[in-house]
Amino acid sequence: AFEVQLASSGEVIEIPADKSVLEVLLEKDMDVPFSCEEGVCGTCAVRLLEGEPDHRDVFMTPAEHASNEEFAPCCSRAKSKRLVLDI
């Protein structure tokens, strides 16, 4: 499990191993656009402000993954304990 902090509210949300960040955000009635839920389309991409992600999507290039500027909440996870997302 890891944590996601929402930059807008400061809220910290626990992401259990069996749920995606997107699923947890939708359960909290957050308005996050998404489509494929498989890391293909890029619709869900959000800006990453802090933390080290474990990118699992395939729409970003390796260079984009290495820059850690964006994060795909439908599939990607975290290597660090916490990610701060610009939502």
CB 35, min distance to ligand FES, A: 5
Q: Which is nearer to ligand FES, 48 or 72 (CB)?
A: 72
Q: Give the number of other CB atoms < 10 A from CB of residue 59.
A: 16
**With respect to ligand FES, which residue has the nearer C-beta, 7 or 43?**
43
> Closer to ligand FES at the Cβ: 22 or 84?
22
C-alpha pair distances (Å), 17 with each of 13, 50, 76, 77, 79 = 13, 20, 12, 9, 13
Q: How many residues does the chain have?
A: 87
Nearest approach in angstroms of CB 26 to ligand FES is 11
Q: How far is the CB of 77 from ligand FES (least distance, A)?
A: 13
Q: Which residues pair with 82 in a beta bridge?
A: 3
Helix (H, G, I), strand (E, B) or coil at 84: strand
Binding residues for ligand FES (CB under 6 A): 34-37, 39-44, 57, 59, 72, 74
